[in-house]
Structure 1
Amino acid sequence: MAERTVVVVAYEHAELLDIACITTPLMMANLNGPLEVPYRTLVVTPGGLPAVCGSGLTLAADGALEHVPTPVDTVIVSGGTGHERAAESMLVRDHVRRLAGTARRTASVCTGATILAAADLLDGRRATTHWQFAARLARRHPEVVVDPDPIFIRDGAISTAAGVTSALDLTLAFIEEDHGAELARTVSRYLVTYLQRPGSQSQMSIHTAAPATDNAVVRRVTEHVTSDLAAPADAAALADVAGVSVRHLGRVFAAEVGTTPAQYVRSVRLEAAAHLLEETPEPLATIARRCGFGSAEVMRQAFVRQYGTTPSAYRSRARPRHARR
């Protein structure tokens, strides 16, 4: 039986969770087959040596990176605290480039993008990486168009995923591409992941990335916005809430949050709308009103700009819990 050989590249101080978020969904896809073309997953390291991961656990390799025969179906480079040293290795760069030259698709997870960039595989391409390392990647490789926001980006045959568990989203997308949406959703359910997120979704959620500041003006505004999404949130209204001028509010947000008040409001409302689309059967018009968009069309336009898809398509892809009962 033909197989899809997926080569996962690890190295000293690779991130074990990056790797598991690739290998486990592929194993679950095989178990939920039978697949006409099942996956054969190989975790390889330089020299085939065991790799001590960033967590301190030791990962046994299936073989040596330099001995993997070509062609392969997919090659995925993991991230980890050892990514810079791996990127400096000629052996790693040369053999990642060699495998990518024959692969149907090539990908990286998290800081694995550093290795793809060092191997000249991201030149002229749009790519992402963990938000914490995006600026460093952009400085060191100006030939790469770095976008720190999406959880994964697919640019032709090259894909780059953001931080750690975004590997799960990318792998589910690969399974859907290879075997259809239903298998990807089945694997998602078995893994008890509540959602197969589209790649365009932002890495940073308002629920986990609220502005880290003690500034009273910012705190008053953000608490006002998140507590009542449908409340007036134009510049004048927010300035009144904060007790400052519109101009001062803009300066404070730029310094403390790195965005404008309007952009913050839009991101909060979109995140809330995405959650309601995933978790409830409410009509689009109702969700739009609850989240402060005024109409379904205004929400649709904002959704397309942010996520690259419509609310209806997002809801269909997420397959919310209320639809599975």
Structure 2
Amino acid sequence: MPTVAIAIFAGVQALDVAGPVDVFSEANRFIAPDARYEVTLLSAQQAPLRASNGMTLIADAVFARARKPFDLALVAGGPALPEGAPPEASLLDWLTNIAPQCGRYGSICTGAFALGHAGLLDARNVTTHWQHAAQLAAQFPKARVDYDRIYLRDGQLVTSAGVTAGIDLSLALVAEDHGAHIALAVAKRLVVFAQRQGGQSQFSPYLTAPVDETSPVAKVQAHVMERIHESFTVKQLADVAGMSSRNFARVFVQETGVTPHEFVERARVDAARKLLESSGAALKAIAYDCGFGTADRMRIVFVKRVGVTPMQYRERFRAA
């Protein structure tokens, strides 16, 4: 019987816990008794704790008494993990000691920050909630953070994107253990996709506000957004900034982390996403208004950057 441990703590995201637990529980309906998952919730103390949404959770056991190897050990996320101090010492000590003993170990959502504090992300490919991926990369520079993946496996280490992505990761692990047909049966029971199309880019905005809104780079960004239907060259944008083309390109990358071309393409995608969500305009009209030129070109860029076509995006996110 495979054993699964999920570490929880005060302020944990309840869905990070309930999602995977329900996947493994539902999987037990379809597999032989001796292959069923045995899930254990662990915390520092076996006492009621409040999740971030106010729910009360109680662990089955405490970290100090859970030193045996598990087939899978996960740490759930919580809204405070990216911003706060390192998690409690007992959780970090448990992660450090248990990870090498487990067949698989990892995190749900921002639980990746706990793994980082435990020294388990160095030189590993990982992902987390799109909103905190840059923070994870900054706090743990030795980790290779993928900003787009819904879930990711690097050897024994498994990590997932935000919140409901814990369900995607758990379904993938069930498929690995028992076959895609079992994972599909579980997904149907939970009324979710067995394999979600696209990555986190569907949910995360590409553009963020500039640090200095009065800078030449911010002026260029505003210029592009106000004229998103136009075409741009580096020289044209450099003229707006009052710089030479070479100096402008260098400063733009230095301040934004992307090239001017990359920024323009991201800006077009974000503008198109807003129109796809809020209007019923024809795709060719949206493509023209956002500077792609043609619907075919917009489709190519969407598949590359968002992982789905504009039509698929509209079907998922358009407001009723």
Q: TM-score, normalised by structure 1?
A: 0.68
Is 1:121 matched up with 2:120? yes
**Paired position in structure 2 for 1:204:** 201
What code does the residue aligned with 2:179 have?
G
SS at match of 1:48: coil
> Could you report, residue by residue, the CA deviation over 1:36-58 in whole angstroms, capped at 9, with x for unpaired residues?
51111111111222221111111
Asked whether the equivalents of residues 95 and 118 of structure 2 are also in contact (C-alpha less than 8 Å), the reply is: yes
Partner of 2:30: 32
Cα distance in structure 2, aligned partners of 1:178 and 1:43: 21
2:74 to 57, 73, 76: 76
Unpaired segments of 5 or more residues in structure 1? Answer: 225-236, 273-288, 312-325
Aligned pairs, how many?
Answer: 270
Amino acid at match of 2:181: E
**Residue 147 of structure 1, CA deviation:** 2.6
Aligned identity (percent) is 31
Could you tell me whether the CA contact under 8 Å between 1:12 and 1:82 is conserved in 2? no
Residue pair 1:11, 1:86 contacting (<8 A) in 2 also: no
Partner of 2:297: 292
1:134-188, Cα deviation, whole Å (9 max, x unpaired) = 2332232222222322222211110111211111111111011011111111211
Deviations 1:74-126 (A, max 9, x none): 00100103436683422111111222121100011121111111111111112
Which of 30, 36, 45 lines up with 2:43 in the alignment?
A: 45
Where does 1:58-77 land on structure 2 (aligned, <5 Å)? 58-77=56-75
- Counterpart CA distance in 2 for 1:98 and 1:217 is 53
1: CA distance between counterparts of 2:132 and 2:10? 19
- 1:181 counterpart = 2:177: no
The alignment partner of 1:238 has SS state of coil
Q: How does 1:143-154 map to 2 (within 5 A)?
A: 143-154=142-153
Question: What 5-or-longer segments of structure 2 have no aligned partner?
Answer: 210-220, 242-247, 274-293, 310-320
Alpha-carbon distance in 2 for matches of 1:197, 1:175: 15
1:152 and 1:170 in contact (8 A); partners too: yes
Q: Normalization by structure 2: what TM-score?
A: 0.69
Alpha-carbon spacing, 1:4–1:259, altered in 2? closer, same or farther (3 Å): farther
Q: In the alignment, residue 203 of structure 1 is paired with which amino acid?
A: Q
Contact 1:45 1:51 survives alignment (8 Å) = no
* Inter-CA distance 82–45: structure 2 relative to 1 (3 Å threshold): farther
Shift of 1:212: 7.0
Residue pair 2:171, 2:194 contacting (<8 A) in 1 also: no
The answer as to whether partners of 2:122 and 2:143 remain within 8 angstroms in 1 is: yes
Which letter does structure 2 place at the counterpart of 1:202?
A: G
Q: Is the 8 A contact 2:224 2:264 kept in 1?
A: no
Which one-letter code corresponds to 1:94 in the other structure?
A: D
Provide closer, same or farther for how the CA distance between residues 216 and 124 of structure 1 changes in structure 2, counting only shifts above 3 A: closer
Cα root mean square deviation, aligned? 4.1
